[in-house]
Amino acid sequence: MLLAVDIGNTNIAFGLYDDEDLVQTFRSETVRARTADEYGVLLRQMLALRGIDPSVVSAAIIASVVPPLTDVMMDAVRHAFAREALVVGPGLKTGISILYENPRDVGADRVVNAVAAFERIRAGVIVVDFGTATTFDCISPKAEYL
C-alpha cells in the first residue's frame, strides 16, 4: 500500500491507499520540534490503532509546505517502514504544466491537489483547498496549472 503524507503548516494528513482506493486516513498536529524517531513511532502507532500491519506499506510519497520537516519525515518513513519516500517538489514529472513565472512558487500541496483533480476529472477544473489558508487553483483542459 502507498502511504501519502501531506505536511501542512497546521496539520499533517496521512492517507493509506490500496491501488487507487483510500483505505485509511489519520492526522497529526504539525510539530516542527518532533524528531524522525518520534514521527516514525507516531506513524506505526496510528496504523496499529487501526489494526493495520506496518509491513503493508510498500511505498510512500511526501508533499510538504514545511521544508524543515521534509527530511525529518523522509527519515521517519525510512526507519518505520524501510522505504525511501518520493518527495513532491521541483523537477518531479507530474503531467501538469505549471505556467507560473517561477513554478517553484507553487507549493507541493497545491501541485498534488491539481494533479489528483485533473486525473479524476480529465477536464478543466478548479480546486478549492480549505487548509490553514483557503486556496483556489485552476487547471486548464490541457493540464496547465494557471
Catalytic sites, residue numbers: 109
* Pairwise CA distance, residues 96 & 11, whole Å: 26
H or E segment and range at residue 11: strand 11-18
Handedness of CA 140, 110, 135, 114 (dihedral sign): positive
* Pairwise CA distance, residues 43 & 49, whole Å: 10
* Pairwise CA distance, residues 129 & 111, whole Å: 12
Q: Which residues of 77-108 are buried (b: 16+ CB within 10 A; e: fewer)?
A: bebbbeeebebbeeeeeeebebeeeeeeebbb
